[in-house]
Amino acid sequence: MLALGPAMNKLEFPTTVEAMTPAWLTQVLREDGVLGEGVVVAFSAEPLGVGVGFMSALRRLTLQCEGAAEGMPGTLIAKLPPSDPGARTIDEAFNFYEKEVGFYQQLASTTPVRAPRAHYAAFDAASRDFVLLLEDMAPSVIGDQLTGLSFAQAAMAVDALACVHARWWGDPALDQMDWLIPVNGVEFNRLCGIVPQCWPAVLDFVGAAMPPAAKAAGERLATAMSAMLDEAYARPRTMAHGDYRADNMFFRPGCEVAPFAVADWQIIFKGNGIFDLAYLLTGSLDVEMRRARERELLALYHGRLVAEGVKGYSLEDCLDDYRFWVMLGLAWPVVAIGTLDTANPRGVALFRAWIERALAAIVDWKAWEMLPAA
């Protein structure tokens, strides 16, 4: 079992809020050093992120404590296994839950972007159950992928992303983490079968709004996934977040200490970091915003990489990687739509906006030119 904390591997952990107890929370928070000699005597839980998180269940815990140390948080976020069996199946294919625990255990402390502090993190390989007790980032404002980021928000996110990528750029330490999968590994290569299966659902979902050139590109991508993933791994490598989108970002205007933070580190991988940049700009900006400010944001990203010490990587290299990922990145909304829960209205609206933005970017960049020759 992966676990965070000096004695955490001695604790069995709950996988539902109903299974949590004040005694368990007391032990965990004392072990983390935030509770002191205090006691959690009661707590309440409310659902969080309905229509936002798809791979886990989120609950805000409001704690009632006695004798707590100064600075003890009054609320925490519990991240737990989802009830949706489809989400559990996706985790089995892509190892999401172990990766997020691994991030907090081995990478968070040296990754130069604010992430919610983990008071407890554990994963059991046999059951694939997990639990995270995370810092509540309120009163920060969560980004809204459906509405799209403002330019100021996007610039903040891009700047932070470049710092993360620069920190792990070409770092051999990533190769020592066997739980951190490469972009062309077995897990990602499962997309080679999944994308063709999901593509018909995308055609039905988008209908007549599908640009003919993008339709042809999507059909070619469905048969070229393996070659594209190998090409992705051959490009400069770092640690990629894997789900760098507005809904996973926290903004706190006016806060000088931590105006920006990023959550959901369950999809991190070893590979070309420009995936994150293309995923952000073609998924979390509305089309007109992207078209108007995209080049500016790409230059901002590259400039920060260079400022943070990345060498031998030109702006032209960056643009080539970006164009490549505009094409290959289509696989992600394709899979999302192919496994869409139509009972989630916001999810349906979000995926519609995402696919329309992704298709527009493919057309704008003529990204099909990055596909291998037929």
List, for residues 191-241, the tens digit of each pLDDT value. Answer: 999 999 999 999 999 999 999 999 999 999 999 999 999 999 999 999 999
Residue 3: the pLDDT is 55
- Kindly report the pTM of this predicted structure: 0.91
At residue 89, does pLDDT exceed 60? yes
pLDDT (mean) for 23-49: 92
The mean pLDDT of 115-132, rounded to a whole number, is 93
Interval 15-32 mean pLDDT:
94
Residue that terminates a domain, selected from 96, 116, 135: 135
Answer whether residue 8 shows pLDDT above 50: no
| Between residues 91 and 245, the one the model is more confident about | 245
Closest C-alpha among 357, 338, 337 to residue 348: 337
**Whether the predicted pLDDT of 32 surpasses 80:** yes
Same domain (yes/no): 19, 123: yes
How far apart are alpha carbons 181 and 175 in whole angstroms? Answer: 9
pLDDT at 274 over 70: yes
Asked if 126 and 149 sit in the same domain, the reply is no
Whether residue 334 sits in one domain with residue 244: yes
Least confident among 1-15, 64-78, 154-168, 209-223: 1-15
Helices 274-283 and 151-168 sit at what angle, rounded to 10 degrees? 170
pLDDT at 7: 40
Residues 131 and 25 occupy one common structural domain: yes
Closest by Cα among 288, 286, 280, 372 to 324 = 372
Mean pLDDT of 104-133: 93
The pLDDT of 122-132, averaged and rounded, is 91
- Sequence-distant (6+) residues with CB within 8 A of 185 are none
Total domains in the chain come to 2
Residue 73 confidence class, pLDDT cut points 50, 70, 90? very high
Mean pLDDT of all residues in 330-359: 90
Confidence of residue 9 (pLDDT cuts 50, 70, 90): very low
Average pLDDT score over the chain: 91
Same-domain status, 225 and 348: yes
- CATH code of the domain covering residue 61: 3.30.200
Q: What is the pLDDT of residue 49?
A: 65
pLDDT at position 131 over 70? yes
Q: What angle do CA 90, 333, 47 make, to 5 degrees?
A: 60
Pair 206, 121 in one domain: no
Is the pLDDT score of 88 beyond 80? Answer: no
Domain CATH for 293? 3.90.1200.10
Number of neighbouring beta carbons within 10 Å of residue 21: 12
Alpha-carbon distance of 248 to 261, in angstroms, equals 9
- Domain stop point among 104, 135, 166: 135
Dihedral, 78, 267, 298, 213 alpha carbons, nearest 10? -120
Q: What is the pLDDT of residue 293?
A: 98
**The domain containing residue 115 runs over which residues?**
2-135
**pLDDT for position 10:** 42
CA-closest candidate to residue 154, choices 282, 240, 66:
282
The string of DSSP codes covering 292-309 is: HHHHHHHHHHHHHHHHTT
Report the pLDDT value the prediction gives residue 6, as an integer from 0 to 100.
Answer: 39
Checking if the pLDDT of 102 tops 70, the result is: yes
pLDDT (tens digit per residue) in 275-321 = 999 999 999 999 999 999 999 999 999 999 999 999 999 999 999 99
On the question of a cis peptide bond just before residue 139, with omega within 30 degrees of 0, the verdict is yes
Q: Are residues 300 and 268 in the same domain?
A: yes
In a shared domain, residues 83 and 145: no
Residue 1 has pLDDT above 60, yes or no: no
**pLDDT over 70 (residue 94):** yes
**What pLDDT does 20 receive?**
96
Residue 271 has pLDDT above 60, yes or no: yes
Residue 328, helix vs strand vs coil: helix
Select from 135, 150, 174 the last residue of a domain.
Answer: 135
Q: Is the domain of 272 the same as that of 158?
A: yes
Q: How far is it, in rounded angstroms, from Cα 285 to Cα 303?
A: 21
Region 83-108 average pLDDT = 84
Burial degree of 10 (CB within 10 A; 0-12, 13-18, 19+) = exposed
Residue 62 pLDDT level (bands cut at 50, 70, 90): very high
Domain identity same for 311 and 333 = yes
Same domain flag for 111 and 162? no
Residues 223 and 154 occupy one common structural domain: yes
